[in-house]
Amino acid sequence: KEIGIQKALGAPHIFIQVQFLLEAIWLCLIGGLIGLLFVWLTFLGLNAILKETMGEGFVLVLSASDTQLGLWVSAIVGIIAGFIPARQAARLNPVEAMRAK
């Protein structure tokens, strides 16, 4: 319904596409951050196990570049996953969009 209202009020196609893409990117970045948290917690556990079995010489490290790469991949996945739904939403007829649940 939100799309139908925006289109009825004269929102351009690009506005609706950008809105959908930004929402997709945002959701993927949140997922990426949650994933990085799990990786960090896993590294803590594995480092404790490795310290006991292999000594101090072997340590897993999550670097800043690894973190950045993970977030970039999340953003790119958001763009790819959100592109087609964004195009379809921008092309909806306002009346059909307002009828949809």
**Interior/surface letters 35-58, b for 16+ CB within 10 angstroms, e for the rest:** ebeeeeeeeeeeeeebeeeeeeee
Q: Is residue 100's pLDDT more than 80? A: no
Task: Quote the DSSP letter at residue 9.
Answer: T
Give me the residue label for tokens 């996945």: 77
**Percentage with pLDDT > 70 across the chain:** 99
The pTM of this model reads 0.78
Residue range 80-90, pLDDT digits in tens: 999 999 998 88
Total count of domains within the chain: 1
CA distance 87 to 21: 9
pLDDT in tens, 45-74: 999 998 888 888 888 889 999 999 999 999
Distance CA 48, CA 67 (A): 21
State which residues form the domain around 12: 2-99
pLDDT digits (tens, 9 = 90+) for 18-41: 999 999 999 999 999 999 999 999
Residue among 42, 20, 29, 41 at smallest CA distance from 88 = 20
